[in-house]
Amino acid sequence: MDSDDTGQLIYLVLLGCVVLSYFLISHRQSLGQMTRQAALWVLIFIGVIAGVGLWSDIRQDVLPQQSVMAGAGRVEVPRAFDGHYYLTLAVDGTPVQFVVDTGATDIVLSRQDAVRAGIDLNELIYSGMANTANGPVRTARVRIDELALGQIKDRNVAVWVNEGEMNGSLLGMAYLQRYVRIEITDGTLVLER
């Protein structure tokens, strides 16, 4: 803090003391009411600060995640707060949230999502290998009956279950190449069949 900042801070503290003194003197007859009103404003201020701080968590529930226009075979996905694009697809009827990953070759399910979709992990044969940012991991190939994004449905789809730990499932190029148009414009991912 340099001398200019110190001088400004002293000025603001003195100004605040003068304003506070004025309110205390002018409202000395109703100090209880003034204290309640001040407490109310402090709570409002804290609420606004909490709302701003939690906005990144709240916005996922408030803002739409994806828009499917099945008649036109068009899907619009807004960019999430973290910069990624997320799609929720039904894997054999079970909703699974995928991160769209153009750097991934295949459709990769996390172990948790595979279990939720009804895949028995004990019956999987981990014969494949995938090179990830965390190093190589073993994968097991599985065929699912239906992969649906709204009314857009693909049948008999090959997916891979990752043996390693994943934060979520990946929607790679094996799925994206099923669309005739893939475009990112103004923070929106557009897919068209």
pLDDT, tens digit (0-9, with 9 covering 90-100), for 90-116: 999 999 999 999 888 999 999 999 999
Which has the closest alpha carbon to 99: 113, 88, 91? Answer: 88
What global pTM score does this model have? 0.64
Where in the chain are the domains? 3-62, 67-192
- Superfamily in which the 67-192 domain is placed by CATH: Acid Proteases (2.40.70.10)
- Token readout for 13 is 């503290």
pLDDT above 80 (res 178): yes
Categorise residue 56: left if φ over 0, alpha if ψ from -120 to 50, beta otherwise.
alpha
Q: CA-CA distance, 4 to 17, in Å (whole number)?
A: 20
Average confidence score pLDDT of the chain:
85
Confidence of residue 3 (pLDDT cuts 50, 70, 90): confident
